[in-house]
Chain A
């Protein structure tokens, strides 16, 4: 990441989470692939209903046991029990057939919506957290929501069970049934009282996890630096500290949940005590048989599950709200429902066809005019202010200035990679409404200061999905002075470059990124500092080949003399504003900052 773009030093985790309508979001996920959800719901409900059979069997058995002195038709009971088991297995398979598809399809929808939105945001400021922390939201929060939804189906099923069981039990003995169900209202009250805490603990636990995963990501992104510095132990010690903090948070979260669950169970146990007290009288009177008691005890276990589940689902619902909030925070200001907006996820059937070459959005560049361009970082430092300049077709424009002058910021704001706070960008006399969508090939192409490659083949990294047949890849390699490197690679363009391109040298990554830019037909080429192409010969060749390209319009950040001398126009930035614009000779005569930069460089160059 460029040092100039990371100014907002806000700590992730302190951001206030957006509040979301949890119910509406969940409902939207249900409606995305409704049949999966409803088949799952129906299967599990029928599964529970099949579970009721042994209760009736037990009641009948104990009522007849005393009456017949043990001479019962045991085959009939066995047949009933086995039938209920067969039913349970069938419905179980129905459950499992829909379970993973529903959860993973819902997860895929959220993944897609989140990622598509992040790709849409001004790219240099799209994430307010590290990518490792963002991953924790993509993984843990998404999974939490989908897990919760399956739990809702369990609740539906056990509710149906409870209603049927209640009806049966009331018909047997209303008073005793009342003694069982009264405690449940208590449970609901307790959960409502405690729910605020659940949210707090869960949030703390998730954030502690995000710290751990974020740090892991950073460490393995910088593994060689850690190894070379011999800092493995220190890094592991810091990791242990973060893990210990997470343990405290998660134990608090889990034990609190455990206490709540235990309260549900206790309430029902107390209800059982209630049955015992009331049933004692009724059993003596013959109004309540041992068979009735067997049925009550059997159903009580299930109703216990219902009560516990009721509390769990309430808690999970609250936690799902936290998870939605954390995911929504990644949406960068888009309306919260974007997260669960329906759309294709291409999990089956044909995938969307790869596009051909990008279509032109405007006539070829004649003149690009920037006026009043302004950007301020959230932390308040080092933005750019009221920048104006013009780039004509076929010219070479250099942006120069000291570190922190705003060079990278200017380029990124121009290209829509940062959201500008003000200013206009005009292409051939037509204002550009959405720079981010406009400054892509074939209008413009860009090489960032610290380019990133992905763990694919070199070819895939250069093409990024463009059809190779329609492009001149060898020419792009030559322009970027990468042709020799590729020829030396055993697998050539099919060489896998490794995570973030680590199998290539720093210079090769830079030049691969340049080749990635050159292979795209573009009116305007934008370089943010090519200087890390590094060695003398290579860099000289690269500049030569770029300038030899017919009708290249180039906008480059540089403080190289060679570049400055060739420039048709130099924009000197100072503290985020334009200090001067012009050709080198004029600027050296009139602009103090240009003189400073030029002679400062002279001074350091022996």
Chain B
């Protein structure tokens, strides 16, 4: 994993390129600051030579004043550079985070089933935040340091070629050592970050299931699991830190060698009489000045390694591709859509389960037809709807929407034209407006109110404390389950899809709320094709056609009235059971 090294260049290119203007400003700021750092020691030399010779005394005050002014200007440049680099880094990492989020949102269900939201928070935010340092520090510290290094060496060459050569060789060796160490600890930091991701994934999931833990008396067990996670984090963190510290030892050694070298050079050249005391001091001072960027680089290696681990993990994430991909794209007609399944077979093979959940299924639904889908748990109802919205592709066979093979369409087009209401309505901590439009600013308030009015929910909308601006709390708190359902209907209605998939969720509603929902469903289904997964026979009443699935196959299909009238049909049998046991109500 660490062999080729993290791909710094591709990430830098992608995310820094759009900020050329800021990068240019940063270059100017850094360059000026470095030039000032190189000039300042010259003032010191002039000062020493002036102070140690009687003739130069008069210029001392001027030199001291110049030193002060340069110092102030240099600091001002430094603050400006910090500002620009923070902006650059923040903008770059924000773009990276958003891209990663979008990337993850487009990945297969199998990807998400294997990862907790907490783990993804850590990978999209945690890893990238470690990289934010990389983005900002890389420019300010690493490039700035390298430039300063080159500048110092260049000045030393002009002072004395032998001094320049000796110090250059020394710097090259030290730098090579530092660079070689750069990748050493990357895999260890990756392990440490994974342990952190596991810990926070564990915590996030448990914090979401406190009722379950508590009511089952599982507090002690959950704490033991926490201890195991903490222990792993300590183990990996300690190791990464220790390996990383090797990079810290090199500068300590390099400093000692550098000083010895500077003293030797200064002594030799002074003995020859080829330089003044001030210039001898200058060699010493510039050598000392070299340590600053060298130390800086090695300090940054710590962050660099963390960022490197982050980049490895980000690249890993970016390399995961959805198995379901967009086709060439084709226009879907407006209005109700036809649906057809042709010899469709499907197994959740991504989860290592080769058992077919849908077997050689054929199915035709005419535009505007309302199909009631029945079948026991595991019969394939939900899988069928997942295939239709292309969360998965069939293992064999084809699915057609309005006569077009799903795989030739853009996924976004498919999903825009299919409205799905699942049993559990997902609400975000955002305004009612954002929850209705799912953050699509193109949908104006007028359209929202029109939709609410159409569905008979305008009164409900006006009853909210701040109407559309009402903020929903975490997990949709503040709304009843019924209200959440109504919100989901409006959400779908706003997108005006040609096909509705309704996974009935009225099981938790009281009859009064249910009637409000019935009316909204009536309006929602008008002029659209619909597939309703019904758990109660009452809902089936509105279906034109009944389709009963068992074990991934259609075992019965036909007009509802005909099936109900045929005493031998399974549907009629279900109606009888329902009437007798009353568990269907």
Contacts and interface: CB of A to CB of B under 8 A. Distances in A.
Given A118-B210, A228-B422, A290-B281, 8 more contacts: A62-B281, A96-B248, A135-B207, A234-B439, A272-B71, A465-B224, A506-B423, A562-B582
A401 to B, nearest CB: 7
B440 A352 contact: no
Interface stretch (B141-149, B158-166, B172-180, B234-242): B234-242
Contacts of B218: 464-465
A464 B437 contact: no
Given A9-B478, A228-B389, A506-B423, A520 B47 contact: no
Instruction: Categorize the interface residue count of chain A.
Output: 35 or more
Nearest to B472: A9
A548 interface: no
A488 B348 CA distance: 13
A178 B478 CA distance: 65
Instruction: Categorize the interface residue count of chain B.
Output: 35 or more
A72 B266 CA distance: 11
A224 B441 CA distance: 21
A72 B86 contact: no
A61 B106 CA distance: 67
B260 A445 contact: no
Interface in B173-229: 196, 199-201, 203-224, 226-228
A441 interface: yes
A259 B242 CA distance: 33
Contacts, number: 562
A430 interface: no
Contacts of B83: 251, 255, 258
B275 to A, nearest CB: 10
Interface in A84-117: 84-85, 88-89, 92-93, 95-97, 99-101, 103-105, 107-108, 111-112, 115-116
Interface in B416-440: 416, 418, 420, 422-426, 428-430, 434, 437-440
Count chain A CB atoms within 10 A of each CB in B54, B72, B210, B288 and give the residue with the most.
B210
A54 interface: yes
Contacts of B219: 119-120
Contacts of B537: 605-606
Nearest to B515: A604
A370 to B, nearest CB: 17
B420 to A, nearest CB: 5
Contacts of A277: 60-61, 64
Count chain B CB atoms within 10 A of each CB in A8, A116, A231, A402 and give the residue with the most.
A231
B287 to A, nearest CB: 11
A222 B438 CA distance: 12
A590 interface: no
Question: Could you tell me the dominant secondary structure of chain A's interface residues?
Answer: helix
B109 interface: yes
A229 B513 contact: no
A121 B355 CA distance: 44
Contact of A99 (B113, B241, B272): B241
A356 to B, nearest CB: 11
21 contacts: A104-B237, A119-B214, A133-B474, A134-B204, A218-B474, A220-B117, A221-B117, A225-B425, A231-B439, A231-B440, A239-B98, A250-B86, A270-B71, A273-B64, A273-B71, A277-B60, A403-B480, A455-B201, A485-B378, A505-B382, A561-B582
A70 B271 contact: yes
Given A239-B98, A540-B583, A561-B585, A255 B79 contact: yes
A198 to B, nearest CB: 15
B267 A72 contact: yes
B105 interface: yes
A273 B47 CA distance: 11
Given A3-B476, A130-B474, A280 B64 contact: yes
